[in-house]
Amino acid sequence: GAVVSQHPSRVICKSGTSVKIECRSLDFQATTMFWYRQFPKKSLMLMATSNEGSKATYEQGVEKDKFLINHASLTLSTLTVTSAHPEDSSFYICSARGPGLAGGPLGEQFFGPGTRLTVL
Amino acid sequence: AQTVTQSQPEMSVQEAETVTLSCTYDTSESDYYLFWYKQPPSRQMILVIRQEAYKQQNATENRFSVNFQKAAKSFSLKISDSQLGDAAMYFCAYSGTASKLTFGTGTRLQVTL
């Protein structure tokens, strides 16, 4: 099946620093990648959608200058949390969808294992 | 905007028994997909089952089946012969023409001996 990886799995940083999270599709080309945020015991909230080679589309209420998303290739998207603060601590999950995968454009997304960010 | 509602925050089932998790959704679209995802303690999202709205036949995957009632906008998940490994958070999700997933709030399933 389609595999998506995320790196790092855990990161602890000091307030004010920036953190980059990578999301890779290992065995397929991901034309679209999604970034979610999940608070403890809560559901996944979509932050942004990125299409390869174009700017990300952010959901309402998500600060695009704080959460920088780059989808530079068909297998890699990055999320950079800039000037991180304790309230940015959360679990970040990416997912990817490629052309021709089961279900077509309305079909399945494949999820990465997530990254736990802790900002001290 | 589409919404997905899971009214059962927690459910419990005995091993080998059957349990049904409820999900309702709201949409004005006619073409969409519905999903059930499982999130175990590892937090890796795992697709359990998928239903295309244009298909009248309910999807099944081994011990997992759905009851899709399009007119009622209902999409419940039935787990038969429950196993300890089924214990997890279960999320119902909707994907429409915007190609984005909208998740419900989740149901935590406990499986007891």
pLDDT in tens for each of the 120 residues of chain A? 689 999 999 999 999 999 999 999 998 888 889 999 998 888 999 999 998 888 899 999 999 999 999 988 889 999 999 999 999 999 999 999 876 554 444 457 899 999 999 999
Q: What is the pLDDT of residues B66-89, one digit of tens each?
A: 999 999 999 999 999 999 999 999
Whether the CB-CB separation of B111 and B82 falls below 8 Å is answered with yes
Chain A residue with minimum CA distance to B34 = A107
Identity of the amino acid at A60: Q
CB contact under 8 A, A114 and B33: no
Name the phi and psi angles at A109, rounded to 5.
Answer: -105, 145
B interface with A, Cβ–Cβ < 8 A, is 31-33, 35, 37, 42-47, 50, 52, 91, 95-97, 99-106
CB contact under 8 A, B101 and A44: yes
d(CA A120, nearest CA chain B) in Å? 22
- Output the DSSP codes for A19-50: EEEEEEESSS--SEEEEEEE-TT--EEEEEEE
**Residue B36 in 3-state DSSP?**
strand
CB contact under 8 A, A91 and B100: no
pLDDT of B98 above 70: yes
CA distance A50 to B45: 19
CB contact under 8 A, B50 and A43: no
Which of A34, A38, A43 is opposite residue B104, by nearest beta carbon? A43
